[in-house]
Amino acid sequence: MVKKKSPDQEEASQKKHTETADNKENNNVQANKEPENGDMQSADGQGAESAGTANAEAQPSDKDVAVEKCPEEKLAEMQDKYIRLSAEFDNYRKRTLREKIELSKYASEDLLLKILPVMDDFERAISHMESATDCVAMKEGIDLIYGKFTDFLKQNGVREIETMNCPFNVDLHDAVAKVAVEEEDKKGKIVDVIQKGYFLQDKIIRHSKVVVGE
């Protein structure tokens, strides 16, 4: 047997059913709205990020500030380098000048050291001349000294200019006199040598003073 509901119970049941349907509808509406809010938040985040990037680009960075200061720093550095380089060059100039003076002053030191033994031989020969009675021995001793000195000159690149019986050459010889000669083959040639001339390597360091036949 079905028990009939009273009017109050039916009204309460309908009200409960209506509230349940309303709650379901509200839940659906909120569920539909949540993605839209998420999209808005995402869009707002992207906008803020873009704005931040634009502001970062607009504001000068520390690197840009450093670049702006570079010319002044470079100028100071170049001035410092210039002062140092000028001081170093001045010291170098003074040092090289001092070395040149010393070199020119003592340039002949090695040459003189080599020639001193020849001087010693001459002094010994002169000391024996007073008591020597054998002229032949004295002549041989002087010849030995002369040969020693000639070898010394050759070792240092000094050689004699050929003159006697050679054709006169204005580049090598200085004519101090002319003499008449009977032989035709001696005309224009050197017949006597007043002073010998010498080469140093390939350079003439002294011309020969000669007499030319005509």
Tokens representing 35 are 């993605």
Predicted local confidence at residue 104, as pLDDT: 83
The band of 21, judged by pLDDT with boundaries at 50, 70 and 90, is low
Predicted local confidence at residue 27, as pLDDT: 54
Q: What average pLDDT score do residues 134-153 get?
A: 88
Q: Which residues pair with 119 in a beta bridge?
A: none
Predicted local confidence at residue 3, as pLDDT: 46
Highest mean pLDDT among 27-36, 105-114, 131-140, 197-206: 197-206
Does the 159-214 domain belong in CATH 2.30.22.10?
Answer: yes
Pair 181, 191: CB distance under 8 Å:
yes
Could you tell me which of 195, 200, 198, 199 has the C-alpha nearest to residue 175?
A: 195
